[in-house]
Amino acid sequence: MEGEIRKLPLIGEKAPSFKAQTTKGVIKFPEDHKGKWVVLFSHPADFTPVCTTEFVAFQKRYEEFKKLNCDLIGLSIDQVFSHIKWVEWIKETLGIEIEFPVIADDTGRIAHLYGMIHPGKGANTVRAVFIIDPDGVVRAILYYPQEVGRNMDEILRMVKTLQISDENGVAIPANWPNNELIGDKVILPPPSDEKTARERLEKAKAKEIECFDWWFCYKNL
């Protein structure tokens, strides 16, 4: 509605809950995926070239996502019959079986709930990506326009690096594991007091860690 203020999901918040029909049956989200990472992504429409390349790319990496304890879930505002026919076409024509579920959001309810429809880009969903952790918390959000296909390796990298960050209490540099300054090493959180800052430099002298300065220290995983 005109003038309506929509509260979209934000990083660090619980993912909005919904029940929906998918190509693999009815799901309750995120409750059915508790304990697992999830990549929830929208595509503009079935039977479109860029979306087809994306689904093939996601499927090609499906086993890699599974190794990270991560489920893939697609969504568009098409009906489930369209989804079923499209994934059948992909299998029959391209020889690729889509193993992950695709949500049929023909009313647009879920798309609006997650901010996947941007009126300035039309009535279809844009290419939104929500990475959600095992506790149902939104950890990352990506938006691509309809005319640009996503980089699935980056999405896979994001899931991997979020897990590394959580498990080790570290930050991940740009382009990891091929960062231009520190390669595949990870960054230590900056000190919160003078004592810790001095200790960082002492550890650097002892070759326990490496530092450019007290606020920029890094180490091997």
What span, in angstroms and rounded, lies between the C-alpha atoms of 167 and 151? 25
Q: Across the strands, what pairs with 76?
A: 104
Name the CA radius of gyration of the chain, rounded: 20
Q: What is the DSSP letter of 176?
A: T
Residue type at position 79: Q
Q: Which two tokens stand for residue 137?
A: 């918390």
| Residues carrying an active site annotation | 51
Q: What DSSP line would sit under 127-165, residue for residue? A: EEEEEE-TTSBEEEEEEE-TTS---HHHHHHHHHHHHHH
What span, in angstroms and rounded, lies between the C-alpha atoms of 8 and 200? 40
Q: Which two tokens stand for residue 120?
A: 């300035």
